Structure 1
Amino acid sequence: MDDYFPKEMNGGGDDAPMFSEIFNLDPNETAVPVPREETRLSESEIIEKFHRILRVAKDIKASDVFLKVGVPPAIRLDGIIQFLKFDDITERETRIILESICDRYLLEEFRNEHEVDTAYQVEDIGRFRVNAFLQRGYIGFVFRLVRFEIPTFEQLNLPVEPLMRIAGERRGLVLVTGVAGSGKSTTLASFIEYINQNFNRHIITIEDPIEFIYTDKRSIVEQREIGMDTRSFSTALKHVVRQSPDVILIGEMRDKDTMEAAINAAETGHLVFSTLHSTNASQTVDRILNFFPPHQHNLIRLQLSMVLKGVISQRLIKRIDSLGRVPAVEVMTLSPTVRKVLEEGRFAELPKIIEESEYFGMQSFNQSLVSLVKKKMITREDALANSDDPDKLLLEFRGVSKSSGHQDIDDAKKKAADKRRKRSKDLLGD
């Protein structure tokens, strides 16, 4: 794998020309030193190079690809950014890549907004969620790899029984939460695919952009993309209840209107899934309330106490038993106690209730972290770093054998390192 990653980036160079074909910008106003192309590649050769970068990222199981003018392409592997051994990205290359992945509508949006979200698929390589943007006057990209095959709950190491129970609900609101890059979209896709395989439902997704592609099984799945199929989340949600859905997926809760429409749809007999940038169940409820003015909080709490069927919060942690990362997961379901606490606004009590409600399929982050350490999938140090209550987690670790635990973890680390070296040899052919 070392052949992919240089020890230091290549040098700089003269200023590259600006992309006047897209923007009427004065090159003197944005002077960023970037290297000139020593050999001018044809457009087809640039696309071929671009696809080679994406293939390398897929082969080494990277989660993200970064393209920035003036430096080599970079990837995020197991949460760590590393530069690849390719030539520095040029301004001309980014312009040609943008024109190859965007249609006229998206190019117009980029011209107006200076950023755009879309999806890009390459046969035999994969599907990517793409964000293109301007930085210091030049085009930049982030590509997030999206699997062709939608993983199951088991494959994602998620708590299967409670999630299956939530997926079987006929109405309500289900939120998957976590920081950016914590696997929320993949977990949502697993929910939708589980319903698709096991229930007779009409499922409508509203996404920006469409990431996973579903094939109808027992359900009908219709996917709407913001910009292409509808103007906005709020516009789509105004009409979605007239389209006879049983299940609605909203890619992200971005504003008050979207949240309000989602709660109303859940109240009127639909099962609504979405994501939110929050770290745990109690913070999730606070975030929901903060969408609304104070005079509406009592009403929103009452509505949540009736419709919030589940909050799944997750954090990805580097594995020591194999390649990649594994989720630590908090699960809150709507038990009678949770319903009463939500209605009365006693959110500070939720962590204790979650910890003591295994019967209702709940689990705390600490319980998930202890389980992962006992299975020798993560280190104690990483578990403590990802805990909301590390002092309490230290006490829980007393149930884990210190003498055998550290030795087994050392063995697991060695096996993971051996797997990484083998993967490098397989990819490089040496």
Structure 2
Amino acid sequence: MAATMHDLLTIMIERGASDLHITTGTPPQIRLHGKLTPLTQFERLTPQDTQRLAYSVLNEGQKQKFEEDNELDLSFGIQGLARFRCNVYRQRGAVAAAIRVIPIKIRSFDELGLPPVVEQLADRPKGLILVTGPTGSGKSTTLAAMVDKINNERTEHIMTIEDPIEFVHHHKKCLVNQREVFSDTHSFKNALKYILRQDPDVVLVGEMRDLETISAALTIAETGHLTLGTLHTNSCAQTINRVIDVFPT
């Protein structure tokens, strides 16, 4: 049975899986309760299958970029189903992809089981707030809840820079502009270079990866804006050390 991407994503949602993996030599696999499970109703995928499936969610510009770089981050939505974050890459010369579900509904602090202090942090008018943890720990989901609270309660301008855009925020009390790296700006560095000219009150930096991004985020916070960001660190001490270590001694 030949799989279509819509079939696979529908099964993924219906079974409550978090991730979908597409690679050659095996049927599509989903991550269910933390464990990978092959969808044995489908045949093992060939290189032609994996390219067909992955390319079905890419536009022409994304296909071109992937063929130049051999890897690509993107997000996309399917009406009535969900939003998804996707990483397309090559392995052994063939196309492969990992796709994660992004809930359409932004969950509240209570639904996420977050302590009250996290909600209180979202009330701060300025400063730097970092949400840290390993991959899959809920950094983006936590930030989405914080941005949604601000959007519901303040009359301000929220700017986000993400790679890719995961949760879509609509204009509520706030004006919300979301920029995706490569689609809307060349890089985090470029977007942050000009962001203060765009009259923001709140700035979300999807991932603080390097010296330029971290330095710019600190400058934005120092100039009286609320700045939100993420780091792949596992403790407060490690987070501070990571920020310090990117600066030359």
What TM-score do the two structures reach when normalised by structure 1? 0.56
Cα distance, 1:124 vs. partner?
2.2
Indicate the residue corresponding to 1:70 in structure 2: 25
> In the TM superposition, what whole-angstrom CA distance separates every residue of 1:102-149 from its partner, at most 9, and x where no partner exists?
122211211111000111222222110000000011110000100100
Number of residue pairs the alignment of both structures matches: 248
> In the TM superposition, what whole-angstrom CA distance separates every residue of 1:167-205 from its partner, at most 9, and x where no partner exists?
011111100100111111111111111111111110000
Indicate the residue corresponding to 1:127 in structure 2: 83
Tell me, in whole angstroms, the C-alpha distance in 1 between the residues paired with 2:139 and 2:31.
17
Q: 1:341-352 residue pairs with structure 2 within 5 A?
A: none
Q: Secondary structure at the match of 2:110?
A: coil
Structure 1 unaligned spans of 5+: 1-38, 295-430
Picking from 81, 88, 99, the partner of 1:143 is 99
Tell me, in whole angstroms, the C-alpha distance in 2 between the residues paired with 1:133 and 1:184.
23
Identity of aligned residues (%): 41
> In the TM superposition, what whole-angstrom CA distance separates every residue of 1:33-52 from its partner, at most 9, and x where no partner exists?
xxxxxx7x6xxxx5xx3211
Q: Secondary structure at the match of 2:109?
A: coil
Q: Where is the helix percentage greater, Structure 1 or Structure 2?
A: 1
Does residue 1:117 correspond to 2:78, yes or no? Answer: no
Cα distance, 1:81 vs. partner?
1.6
Tell me, in whole angstroms, the C-alpha distance in 1 between the residues paired with 2:51 and 2:28.
15
Tell me, in whole angstroms, the C-alpha distance in 2 between the residues paired with 1:116 and 1:173.
29
Indicate the residue corresponding to 1:217 in structure 2: 172
Indicate the residue corresponding to 2:162 in structure 1: 207
Structure 2 unaligned spans of 5+: none
Runs of 4+ in 1 over 4 A off after TM superposition: none
Cα distance, 1:164 vs. partner?
2.0
Does residue 1:272 correspond to 2:220, yes or no? Answer: no
Q: Give the CA RMSD over aligned residues.
A: 1.2
Q: 1:222-241 residue pairs with structure 2 within 5 A?
A: 222-241=177-196
Instruction: Kindly indicate whether the alpha-carbon contact (under 8 Å) linking 2:51 and 2:94 is maintained by their aligned counterparts in 1.
Output: no
Specify the code of the residue in structure 2 equivalent to 1:156: L
Q: Max radius of gyration: which structure?
A: 1
Q: 1:23-422 residue pairs with structure 2 within 5 A?
A: 46=3, 49-85=4-40, 86-159=42-115, 161-294=116-249
Specify the code of the residue in structure 2 equivalent to 1:219: C
Specify the code of the residue in structure 2 equivalent to 1:53: L
Specify the code of the residue in structure 2 equivalent to 1:140: A
Tell me, in whole angstroms, the C-alpha distance in 2 between the residues paired with 1:97 and 1:74.
13
Tell me, in whole angstroms, the C-alpha distance in 2 between the residues paired with 1:145 and 1:185.
12
What TM-score do the two structures reach when normalised by structure 2? 0.96
Tell me, in whole angstroms, the C-alpha distance in 2 between the residues paired with 1:250 and 1:74.
31
Q: Secondary structure at the match of 2:44?
A: coil
Tell me, in whole angstroms, the C-alpha distance in 2 between the residues paired with 1:183 and 1:65.
18
Tell me, in whole angstroms, the C-alpha distance in 1 between the residues paired with 2:102 and 2:49.
23
Q: Secondary structure at the match of 1:101?
A: coil
Q: Secondary structure at the match of 1:188?
A: helix
Specify the code of the residue in structure 1 equivalent to 2:229: S
Q: Where is the strand percentage greater, Structure 1 or Structure 2?
A: 2
Tell me, in whole angstroms, the C-alpha distance in 1 between the residues paired with 2:66 and 2:5.
20
